[in-house]
Amino acid sequence: MEKYNVLPETNAYRRLQMLFGKENFVELEPFVESDNSYAEVRTAFGYIDNIPAYAFSQDMQRNSGAISTFQCSKICKLYDLASKTGFPIIGIYDSLGANLSQGVNMLNSYSELLSNVNRLSGVVLQISIIAGNCFGTSALIASSADFLIMTDDAYLGIDTSGANSSSEFVRKSGISHINVTNCEEAINSAIKLISILPSNNLSQAPLEELKSNYNIEIKKGDKFSKADTIISIFDDSEFFEIQIDYGDAARIGFARFEGRSVGIIISVKELLDKQSCDKITRFIRFCDAFSIPLITFIDSKEFESLKEASKVANVYSDATNVKITIITGEVYGTLYIALAGKGTNSDVTYAWEESSISSLKLETEAEIVCSDELKSMKEPFIDRKKIISNYKESHLPAINAAKLGFVDDIISIEDTRIKICYSLEMLSQKIMNKIPKKHSNIQI
């Protein structure tokens, strides 16, 4: 008698074992057939760090993983379950493409699958792992997830010829969030995301067990960058950074404060360019969708263009999650308004003692206010620098903005962590109702 509960252990199945652990999952619909063989995808439900989740893994050992109507049906089944339970979905993609023998029938199956992915976007956490080939509509579906993790030898692209689909191209285009060497590292990254993020938009992120003494040693001095100093105040100085090679004027990712997960934005250059604004914008929208507190550290002077400024300002002001801003350097005009101002709904804004805030760029404001002094300069090259420097020291310290109520407190670097922890606790029950509408119409 055939033993029906035992199926061949293919690579796809072993990947599910790596994700869940050998004893922590059950396979779903294992006997569904496609073209007189088992369907080209393995689907499962299990536990990842005690968090329930669904996953599917395309099977290259079954008809080269070709996407069939039955494969789409099995994956859609997971999305149907996820919509009922709120559990996250991890998809492992490795396929040579669609099953062409099924012709136009595939169009409807693809459409149904893409509809499910987009319907649950911002509702349940979705993670895509690209562990092989992923082209055409499959690439569109995979890249619609909240996070896309890609191995160095994988390919992802809308062009089925494989053009512009290398891991390096995808990384530099800002499509992937995490790039790793192999599938095992990709799966470990997915496990890390599952462990620090909410499963759905109604649940809270997993709270790490509180430690009596976190490893906090603030890194200060010339050999450390300002970003190094900021990261050192996180729990155990751990920062799970994403999109590292895209938009280098800002760093984004996740950290914890006393076990509580938060989203982090750190501006690291004077000019926030288009790529940096793109990743900041999508990151804010993700954190808002899942009610993840957002902490923004600003030390930038201007946006690259009006379009980028309006995009960032729109999503930041529209977000209703907890928003805390720390001004760590020089912040001028639209940067303050977009990411720190009370008008754009920052809940709490702090400023480091040495920071500066101005309504205009320093040079522009100084030239307007100190025009008489500048006109009477005897040595323009030397005197101009001195006049602007003196103006900055006397008129632009953050304390002046604090006196007008534009900054909630002036804090030291050493006090930053405790201020954030208290603010997160103070705002933990934040409720904010929005004007009824479908969505805002932002610059894209």
**How much is the pLDDT for 101?**
66
Q: Is 70 exceeded by the pLDDT of residue 375?
A: no
- Residue (of 132, 150, 238) closest to 189 by Cα position: 150
The stretch 371-380 carries a mean pLDDT of 55
Lowest mean pLDDT among 68-82, 174-188, 261-275: 68-82
Q: Among positive and negative, which fits the CA dihedral 385, 391, 396, 397?
A: positive
Highest mean pLDDT among 100-109, 119-128, 158-167: 119-128
The stretch 2-28 carries a mean pLDDT of 81
**How much is the pLDDT for 330?**
85
Task: Name the fold adopted by 11-196.
Answer: 2-enoyl-CoA Hydratase; Chain A, domain 1 (3.90.226)
Q: Is 70 exceeded by the pLDDT of residue 359?
A: no
What pLDDT band is residue 63 in, cutting at 50, 70 and 90? Answer: confident
**How much is the pLDDT for 227?**
95
Distance CA 236, CA 333 (A): 34
Task: Report the residue count for the chain.
Answer: 444
* pTM listed for this prediction: 0.90
Distance CA 303, CA 312 (A): 10
Instruction: Decide if 149 contacts 186 (C-beta within 8 A).
Output: yes
Higher pLDDT, 263 or 437: 263
One-letter amino acid at 29 equals E
Q: What is each CA distance from 322 to 87, 108, 284, 302, 327, in whole angstroms? A: 23, 40, 11, 24, 17
**Which three-class secondary structure state does DSSP give residue 274?**
helix
Lowest mean pLDDT among 1-5, 258-262, 371-375: 1-5
**How much is the pLDDT for 33?**
73
Q: Is 80 exceeded by the pLDDT of residue 390?
A: no
What tens digit of pLDDT does each residue of 157-206 get?
A: 988 788 889 999 999 999 999 999 999 999 999 999 999 999 999 999 88
Domain residue ranges of the chain, discontinuous segments joined by +: 11-196, 226-355+397-426
Average pLDDT, the chain: 86
Lowest mean pLDDT among 105-109, 176-180, 203-207, 390-394: 390-394
**How much is the pLDDT for 2?**
44
226-355+397-426: what CATH class? alpha beta
What tens digit of pLDDT does each residue of 291-337 get?
A: 999 999 999 888 989 999 899 999 999 999 999 999 998 887 788 88
Q: What is each CA distance from 222 to 225, 228, 267, 289, 414, in whole angstroms? A: 7, 11, 18, 38, 17
**How much is the pLDDT for 9?**
78
Distance CA 153, CA 137 (A): 20
**How much is the pLDDT for 230?**
96
**How much is the pLDDT for 3?**
46
Q: Provide the percentage of residues in the chain whose pLDDT is more than 70.
A: 86
**How much is the pLDDT for 1?**
33
Do the first three CATH levels of 11-196 and 226-355+397-426 match, i.e. the same topology? yes
